[in-house]
Structure formats: C-alpha cells, structure tokens
Structure 1
Amino acid sequence: MESALSEIEFLALSPNRVAVLRRLAEESHTRTDLAVATGASQATLGRILRDFEERSWIRRVEGGYVATATGELIADGFLDLLAILEIEGELRPIVRYLPTDELGFDLRRFEDATITVPSGTKPNAPVKRVLDFLRTAADVRVFSHAFNEGSLRVIEERVSAGETTFEGVFSRSALDAVADDAGLRRRLGSLIDTSSATVRVRDGEIPLAVTVADGAVHMLLRDENGILQASVDTDDPAVRDWARETFEAYWETAERVDPDELTH
C-alpha cells in the first residue's frame, strides 16, 4: 500500500503530470501538442515523459507518445478519484442535511448537480430555485413531508391557467399543517378542484421534499429543526429514475385528499 500511496502522491503533486497522462490516455500526442495543451516548459515536459516511460505508463509512437494499457488504468483510476473528491467538496457543506439513507443512487450522480444555499442577501435562494423550475414545467410531481407556500402558489396558478399538470403525494402531517393555515387551505382547495391536478395524502412518513419538474429533480434540504439549509437539483437520468420510482411507491400507498379534510 505504501508504494501505491507514493504513486498517488507522485501524480497528485503535479497538475502537469495529471494533464499529460489524461491526454495520452485519450489518444497519442506529440511533445509540441502536450506543451501547448499544458503550458509546461520543455524541461518540465521532458521530466514528466521520462518519469512516465520509466513506469511504463506511456510508450513512444511515430511522432509522439501514447498511454500503455497500465497507463490508461492509472489515468482512469486517478481521474475517477479526482472526480469523486470534487463531488465530495461540493457536497461537504450540505451532506449532514442529505437524507442519504433514502437516496437509491450513487452520490457520484450529483457530479453536475446545482447546489443552492441561503445567503444574507438571498435567504430564500433554495426556494427561488425550485420556483424557477415550476414556472416553466409542463408536468410536475412532488412527494414531500411539507407544503411549501411559494411552490403551492405557483402550481395552483399554473394548473388553473392550464399551463401544467400536477400530481403530489404528501404526509398526513403536511395536510394537517395546511388545514391550520387559511391561505394554504384556500390554494390547496382550489388546486384539487381542477381536473389537471391530483393530490394524495399518505399516513406513513415521507422523509424527503422532492419536486420532479419535467426532466429535473429538485430537493429541498432542512436541518433537524426544519430550517431550510440548501437545495440540490439535477437532470441526471439515474436520479430522475429514482425520483419517479420513489414517487410511484408513495403514490400507491396514499389516498386522494378529501376536500372535507381541509375544513378548519
């Protein structure tokens, strides 16, 4: 293991080494090509190529260099590690709020996700992010432990205008909270009166707040006190499949909301 760690350190200490190996694992390059692509001096590039040849990570070909089979193996593994660490760095500030036990996909699927957190000037930035999706989506599905006032308003307005269809499944506690709020009660009542929206309630727990707006999946993340801490959204196919399958599972164990339940 010590030898392997030394090789990892050898690569990690030089972005130029990583860049050269990455390019040579993709296809052959001339020394001039590598110098232009990396910005490395000829002296630095010469040392890198010699070091790689000594390790049998690259071989000379007519006009340049290319990675060997083991060089490709090293490049793939190291670049995968870099990608994982980049994802981890993005998720580190919010990982404590991610319901990881409920996520049926590899966290690497968040590679291209957008993370939105509140700030002093934009405390509602995570909510605004999901509202932006809702304002343009033709089809919306939600499964959640709570109703978001802003989301409910936009959904009700767009469904009433014939601009979107909506299906939502919520926990019983979310419905009880609506019954205690006159404004939310009115909007939800208006929503379930339309033919383009169906809302169901589930007695079991729904430990997530997920919106599927057309091809995008958006999650609102809260802390143990229910305070909004961040949102994550992605159009990754695996995350989208997970969200749709999870929605269907909750949907099948829920009942349509009775308008009488909204009376206070």
Structure 2
Amino acid sequence: MESALAEIEFLALSPNRVTVLSALAAGHHTRSELADRTGASQATLGRILADFEDRAWVRRESGGYVATATGRLVAEGFDDLLGIVETERDLRGIVDYLPTDAIDFDLRELAAATITTPTQTRPNAPLQRLVDMLSDADTVSAFSHTFNDQSLGAVQEQVREHGQTFRGVFSRTAIETLADDPGLRDRLVALLSADGAEIRLREERIPLAAMVTDDVVFLLLRDEDGILRAGIDTDAGAVRAWADETFDHYWSTATPLAASDLEH
C-alpha cells in the first residue's frame, strides 16, 4: 500500500505530470504538443517523460509518445479520483443536510450539479431557483415533506395559465399545514380543481423534498430544525432515474386528494 501511495504522491505533486499522462492516455503527442499544452520547458518535459518511461506508463512511438495500457489505467484512475475529490469539495458544506439514507444513486452523479445556498442578500436563493424552474416547466412531479406558498403559487399559475402538468405526493402534515391557512387552502383547492393537476397524500414519512421539472431533478435541503440550507439541481440520468422510481413508489402507495377533502 505504501508503494502505491508513493506513486499517487509522485503524480499528484506535479500538475504537469497529470496533464502529460492524461494527454498521452488520450492519444499520441509530440514533445512540442505537450509543451504547448502544459507550458512546461523541454527540460521539465524530458524529466517527466523519462520518469514515465521508467514506470512503463508511456512509450516512444512515431516521433512522439503514447501511454501504455498501464499508463492509461493510471490516468483513468487518477482522473476518477480527481473527480471524486472535486465533487466532495463541492458537497462538503452541505453534506450534513443530504438525505443520504433516502438516496441510492452514486454521489459522483452530482459532479456537474448546480448547488445554490442562501446568502445574506438572498436568504431564499435555493427556493427562488426552484420557483424559477417551476415557472418554466411543462411537467412537474414532486415528492416532499413540505409544500410552501411560493412553490404552490408558481405551480398554480403554470397549471392554470400555461397548461403545466403537475403530480405531487406530499406528507399529510405538509398538506394540513397549507389547509390551516385559509388563503393557502383556497389556492390549493383551485390547483386541485384545475385540469392537469393531481395530488396524493402519504401517511408515512417522506424524508426529503424533491421535484422533477421537465428533465431536471431539484432537491431542497433543510437542517433538522427545518431551516433551508441548500438546493441542488441536476439533469444527470442516474439521478433522474432514481427520482422517477422513487416518485412512482410514493405515488402508488399514496391516497388521492380531492378539492372536496379540504372543505371545512
């Protein structure tokens, strides 16, 4: 293990080594091409290539260099490690709020996700991003332990004015909270009375708040006190597949909600 760590350290300590090996893993390059890509001097490139040849990671070929099979293996593995670490750094500030017990996709699928966090000037930035996405979507499916007035308003307007299709599964407490407010109850009744909108209630706990707006999955992350901490949105296929499967499960085990159910 120590020798393997030493090889990782050897590669990681030099961005030029990483760049050269990655380039040669992708195909044949001359020293001039490698110099243009890295900005390294010919002397530095000579040392890097000699070190790589000693490790049988590259070989000379047709006036240039190319990675060997093991060199490609190292390059691919190192690229994977870099991707994992970059994703971890992106998620580091919000990992405590990720409902990891409720998601079963690889967190690496969030590598290209957009993370929105509150700021002093925009404390509701995550929610506003979601509302903006809801306002542009043709189809929305949701499963959540909460349904706030801003999301409700955006969905109601889109369903009524623009023909949005909305299906949502919410915990009973989420709907009861809305129904306790006369104004929000009226808006919820109006939504349920519109064509294209369906809501179901789930008695069991829904441990997260997720919405699929067209092809994008949006997660709202809150802490244990219910304070909004972040929003994550992504169009990664694996995350979308997880969201669709989870929604279908909740939908099939929930009870339809009618506008008449909210009348007092």
Does structure 1 conserve the Cα–Cα contact (< 8 Å) formed by 2:110 and 2:234? Answer: yes
- Partner of 1:101: helix, strand, or coil? coil
Report the CA distance between 1:182 and its aligned residue: 1.9
Identity of aligned residues (%): 58
Report the CA distance between 1:263 and its aligned residue: 3.5
Mapping for residues 60-99 of structure 1, pairs under 5 Å = 60-99=60-99
Report the CA distance between 1:186 and its aligned residue: 1.3
CA RMSD after TM alignment? 0.9
Does structure 2 conserve the Cα–Cα contact (< 8 Å) formed by 1:138 and 1:214? Answer: yes
Does structure 1 conserve the Cα–Cα contact (< 8 Å) formed by 2:156 and 2:187? Answer: yes
- Could you list the per-position Cα deviations for residues 18-66 of structure 1 after superposition, in whole angstroms to 9, with x for gaps in the alignment? 0000000000100000000111111111110010011110000011000
Does structure 1 conserve the Cα–Cα contact (< 8 Å) formed by 2:163 and 2:196? Answer: no
Partner residue in 1 for 2:163: 163
Give, in whole Å, the separation in 2 of the partners of 1:183 and 1:127. 20
Q: Which shifted more, 176-185 or 207-216?
A: 176-185
Partner residue in 2 for 1:50: 50
Give, in whole Å, the separation in 2 of the partners of 1:41 and 1:183. 70
AA matched with 1:223? D
- Partner of 2:162: helix, strand, or coil? coil
- Could you list the per-position Cα deviations for residues 195-246 of structure 1 after superposition, in whole angstroms to 9, with x for gaps in the alignment? 2100111111111100100000000000000000000000001100110110
- Could you list the per-position Cα deviations for residues 65-105 of structure 1 after superposition, in whole angstroms to 9, with x for gaps in the alignment? 00001101110111100000000000010000000111121
Give, in whole Å, the separation in 1 of the partners of 2:114 and 2:60. 42
Give, in whole Å, the separation in 2 of the partners of 1:75 and 1:88. 20
Structure 2 stretches lacking a partner, 5+ long: none
Give, in whole Å, the separation in 2 of the partners of 1:74 and 1:148. 49
Mapping for residues 243-262 of structure 1, pairs under 5 Å = 243-262=243-262
Does structure 1 conserve the Cα–Cα contact (< 8 Å) formed by 2:145 and 2:207? Answer: yes
Does structure 2 conserve the Cα–Cα contact (< 8 Å) formed by 1:179 and 1:263? Answer: no
Structure 1 stretches lacking a partner, 5+ long: none
Give, in whole Å, the separation in 1 of the partners of 2:247 and 2:92. 27
- Count of residue correspondences: 264
Does structure 1 conserve the Cα–Cα contact (< 8 Å) formed by 2:169 and 2:200? Answer: yes
AA matched with 1:30? T
Mapping for residues 25-174 of structure 1, pairs under 5 Å = 25-174=25-174
Partner residue in 2 for 1:204: 204
Q: Which shifted more, 234-243 or 182-191?
A: 182-191
AA matched with 1:190? A
